[in-house]
Structure 1
Amino acid sequence: MCGHCGCERPAAPRRLELQRGLLERNDHLALHNRKHFAEHGLLTVNVMSAPGSGKTALLEQLAKLWPQKPLGVIVGDQATDHDAQRLADAGARSIQIRTGALCHLEASLVDEAFRQLDHAGMNLLVIENVGNLVCPTAFDLGETLRVALLSVTEGEDKPLKYPGLFRSAHAVVINKLDLAQAAGFDRNLALANVQAITPAARVFETSARTGEGLEELMAWLQDELPR
């Protein structure tokens, strides 16, 4: 796929060695990020999903409702700064990473962005990863928690098709509940599929449009804040 993270089939053992070297370097930088975030008293959440699942819309509502202002967001997209602008308009302190050909964020990119972000008075930093269900999973960014977002319009079988992402998640958010009936979404089947792949993960059902489920999600995040 991207030619960088090793998601394509390796052509030779040498390709595997290059992938290992890249991930080792990333993991080293992620450890640096994790220590840096902890020193600043931050809960850092890496949000991953397919494109169009509603990550930005959900974070807009979180930025407006988060009781301990301000909310910090690092946004990853291959191009444009549209999402960072939307989040800034919602009251977040946001910064955009344009990844170009990369289909995922890496620890070095997050470190560079964080150094440019005003984090004074901040206790929650959200990393909105590039929309992709495969490549971002392999890259530790130094986050405290991983959240996998699944919209009702994507179908109930996404956890089964992309188990790596969902298995690595501390929480799964089923989003766009306001469209569930129109999309013919089978809630019980979706929950069963999530349970089969990641039984220990917390599950939240939300709608950014109606606000349903946001209080429960925020309460969980507040419970996870550094003491």
Structure 2
Amino acid sequence: MCTTCGCGHPDQVRIGELPHRHSDDDAQEYTTPNFSHSTFHFNKPTEPDDTQKRLLKIEQDVLGKNNRLADHNRAFFEKQHIFALNLVSSPGSGKTTLLTTTLNALKNDCTCYVIEGDQQTENDADRIRATGVPAIQVNTGKGCHLDAQMIGEAMVKLRPKADSILFIENVGNLVCPSEFDLGEKAKVVILSVTEGEDKPLKYPHMFAASGLMILNKVDLLPYLNFDVAQCIANAKRVNPSIEVIQLSATTEQGLGDWLNWLENQRKQG
């Protein structure tokens, strides 16, 4: 259960399978760490603020366990030179379209893998697999985000090769995914020009946690009342060091800037 927002339950999480096992040559075996699950006991509050204190303690324990698992994931990625990115956005931003366009551009030059996060269905994973790239679907049930344990369990089945790129497409949500480290190299937040230029101010934690903001669907700008400069200023106000790329996943305008960013980040390790 995500005590930071009250969503989900571990029993509702489903880690999918690879429909067609890719070649196991040089595949890396991920070992799940032996971290025991925390058990919480709720007693009747004895003071008016006792419940709040207990919930704060639970949140700290949950995030603490997640961070230990994220560190385990990160160590695995670094050892195998796997470049892992956490793609985050609100629903409908164009994450999956951007991802399929990116994979089609990269798949002949480097090995890629995808972990797809959604509450239900394998629709997005099927779209990814149509590019020929292996993808594991994680259905979170009522959960509104992926966590480090889900990524670890998916990695056991995905078995990525060394020197590859792992794209993690998180559940569409600009709140809770900002708090959960998955072991990724960086968070990339995708914002569509159809959403409004004030999103970075409304959801500051996500933009503060992200190294890159992709402003997507710029081909629609002639038909919208969207202030690009104001949007970028809002993002910089929240996170002065955030980088910004403007592109259209549909027309591929600006796609080269995104591919260059990926390559430069991989070179930096």
Which TM-score applies when normalising by structure 2?
0.80
Does 1:12 pair with 2:52? yes
Richer in helix (by share): 1
Task: For residue 158 of structure 2, give the secondary structure of its aligned residue in structure 1.
Answer: coil
Instruction: Report whether the alignment pairs 1:62 with 2:102.
Output: yes
SS at match of 2:115: strand
Q: Is the 2:89–2:173 Cα contact (8 Å) retained in structure 1?
A: yes
Runs of 4+ in 1 over 6 A off after TM superposition: none
Taking the TM superposition and a 5 Å limit, the aligned residue runs for 1:1-227 are 4-7=2-5, 12-66=52-106, 68-120=109-161, 123-225=164-266
Q: Larger C-alpha radius of gyration, 1 or 2?
A: 2
Secondary structure class of the residue paired with 1:92: coil
Residues 93 and 191 of structure 2 are in contact (CA less than 8 Å); yes or no, is this contact kept in structure 1? yes
Tell me: CA distance 1:41–1:34, structure 2 relative to 1, closer, same or farther (3 Å).
same
CA distance in 1, matches of 2:174, 2:183: 19
Measured after TM superposition, the shift of residue 140 of structure 1 is 0.4
* Stretches of structure 2 lacking an aligned partner (at least 5 in a row): 7-48
State the secondary structure of the residue aligned to 2:194. Answer: helix
1:159 Cα deviation from its structure 2 partner: 0.2
- Give the aligned residue type for 1:103: C
Distance 2:52 2:242 in 1: 36
1:93–1:118 CA contact under 8 A, matched in 2: no
3-state secondary structure, aligned to 2:5: coil
Give the distance between the partners of 1:116 and 1:197, measured in 2 at CA. 37
Q: Which runs of 5+ in 1 are unaligned?
A: none
8 Å CA contact retained: 2:80, 2:162? no
Per-residue CA deviation, residues 101-130 of structure 1 (Å, 9 max, x unaligned), is 110101000011011114226521111000
Give the CA RMSD over aligned residues. Answer: 1.6
Deviation at residue 213 of structure 1 after TM alignment: 1.3
Instruction: Provide the residue aligned with 2:34 in structure 1.
Output: none
Residues 41-94 of structure 1, C-alpha deviation per residue, up to 9 Å, x if partnerless?
111100110001000000000000015333211010000011011011023221
2:77 counterpart letter in structure 1: F
- Whether the 8 Å CA contact 2:201–2:238 is kept in 1: the answer is yes
TM score, norm. by length of structure 1 = 0.94
Residues 83 and 163 in structure 2, CA contact (< 8 A), matched pair in contact too: no
Residue pair 1:152, 1:176 contacting (<8 A) in 2 also: yes
Summarize deviations over 1:122-173 as a string: whole Å, max 9, x none.
5211110000010111100000011111000000000000000000111000
Q: Is the 8 A contact 1:207 1:214 kept in 2?
A: yes
Give 3-state SS (helix, strand or coil) of 1:224's partner: helix
Match of 2:16 in 1: none
- Judge which range, 128-137 or 10-19, deviates more: 10-19
Contact preservation (8 Å) 1:147, 1:169: yes
2:203 and 2:3 map into 1 onto residues whose CA distance is 16
User: What SS does structure 2 have at the residue aligned with 1:113?
Assistant: helix
SS at 1:153 equivalent = coil
Describe the shift of the 1:77–1:122 C-alpha distance in structure 2 as closer, same or farther (beyond 3 A).
farther
Do 1:204 and 1:217's aligned partners in 2 also have CA atoms closer than 8 Å?
A: yes
CA–CA distance in structure 2, aligned partners of residues 121 and 38 of structure 1? 10
Amino acid at match of 2:5: C
